[in-house]
Amino acid sequence: MALEKDMLERARNLLRQEIPLINQGRMESFVGSCITRAGTFLDLISENGSPLYIVDRGGLARDLARMRTAFSALPGDVEIFYAMKSNNMPEIAGIMAGEGAGLDVSSGLELKTAVEAGARSMIFSGPGKTDDELALTMYHADRVTLMIDSFGELERLDRLTRAKGITVRAGVRLTVRPDGLWRKFGIPVADLARFAAKADSCPFVQLEGLQFHTSWNLNPTAHVSFISELGRALKALPALLLRDIEFIDLGGGFWPEQGEWLRAAGTAPGMLRNLLKPEKPDTTSKYRLRSTDIETFAAAIGDELRRSIPSEVECRFFIEPGRWLCHQNMHILLTVVDVKAPDIVITDAGTNAVGWERFEHDYFPVINLSDPDISERRCGVFGSLCTPHDVWGWSYFGGGIERGDVLLVPLQGAYTYSLRQQFIKPLPKTAIVQGPLDLRWKE
């Protein structure tokens, strides 16, 4: 009874949470910026067919330049490595490499793609690297820095490098959260001195730096907090060891500045309400969690590095942006193939194009480019897969909707293409535009 009472009280408190709504006027302004590019998108459909991924080459280059400028304020040289897992399209890897960025890979498959893309500098991070992946790193040792994830991985790398007589440049990943799911990554900060001593006994493992990664950050709080913790740990180490640190990899996890757009089901109180009233779920409410611009991220991180990192450490800094670079620079075009009712349409693309039931939880506007208007109208926009969860949205912006209309789902660059599935229907083709298209949320 006491447990039940406690759970009911928790549920009441959860339902009282207030999540900020999306400002509809600003959303209409964003949709208007998309509509101004309707001619470009419609031409691309005519040339390439539907459905279609649209990659904005100019937008990627512009945003990479902006990130470089923002992080130039750090107290040391900065190198940027695009996190391929966020969007592993080979063309995007090639664009990033062509703009002089390094590539951050998390598997042997991604490493091969990065090499083919012409990357001159790569970091290989992630848990559970196989011996074959370590051997591939050794083969490309002239341009790969391996982020070692555990003592066991160090032991296997020592054995393999001794056998071949090949030196590998390396860093060690540090655990940012000592409990929960994030324990799978890296070693505890408290074990850093022991790890460095172990690496020192490995003649072909050249330990040069440290790596950490905090993810899904709307503001710099998590980065600042861990840098402070890292600084305390480093101050307890011998000065000689500190002088050997050539880089600190600050990871990524920077949320794009338009914030996170959610449906009710993507929020804790909304999810609970839908569970309590499944016969009438909330598909109309739209929320926005605000995020920080990249300049504020960089300034806060730079300030904390100056405060916390011992002066004996004079090093470069690595940054691993993924979502921040690709999210706003890939979009999806669909075509309506059936109007089953005034409030139900079917499109030629299924959500296998993004790999998961994203739009049941996340909100993105569906924009009718064939009948453009900034009025949002209620309508279930479904894909053509044999599953009821194949949903693109519960509304569209436009004057009306008919068979043959071309729809735009903007801002689909992050954790969509990488997760796409060969399931029932073919996947979209890809078109690269010079851009920048400049589909941006304005505060």
Please name which of 30, 99, 22, 41 lies closest in space to residue 67, comparing C-alpha atoms: 99
Token pair in block for residue 356: 């998961």
Are 141 and 166 a contacting pair, CB within 8 Å? yes
What's the one-letter identity of residue 48?
A: N
Instruction: Quote the CA–CA distance of 183 and 195 in Å, as a whole number.
Output: 17
Q: SS3 of 2, please?
A: helix
Please name which of 215, 234, 209, 208 lies closest in space to residue 304, comparing C-alpha atoms: 234
Of 202, 326, 379, 386, the active-site residue reads 386
Please name which of 144, 151, 106, 145 lies closest in space to residue 252, comparing C-alpha atoms: 106
Question: Is the peptide bond preceding residue 51 cis, with omega within 30 degrees of 0?
Answer: yes
Phi, psi for residue 246 in degrees, rounded to 5: -95, -20
Instruction: Quote the CA–CA distance of 112 and 237 in Å, as a whole number.
Output: 37
Active site annotation includes 386: yes
Token pair in block for residue 244: 């050997």
Token pair in block for residue 340: 């089953």
What is the DSSP pairing of strand 406-409 with strand 330-341? antiparallel
Residue 380 CB-half CA count within 13 A: 14
Burial of 216 from C-beta contacts in 10 A (0-12 / 13-18 / 19+): exposed
Are 89 and 117 a contacting pair, CB within 8 Å? no
Token pair in block for residue 137: 């790193």
Residues with a catalytic annotation lie at 386
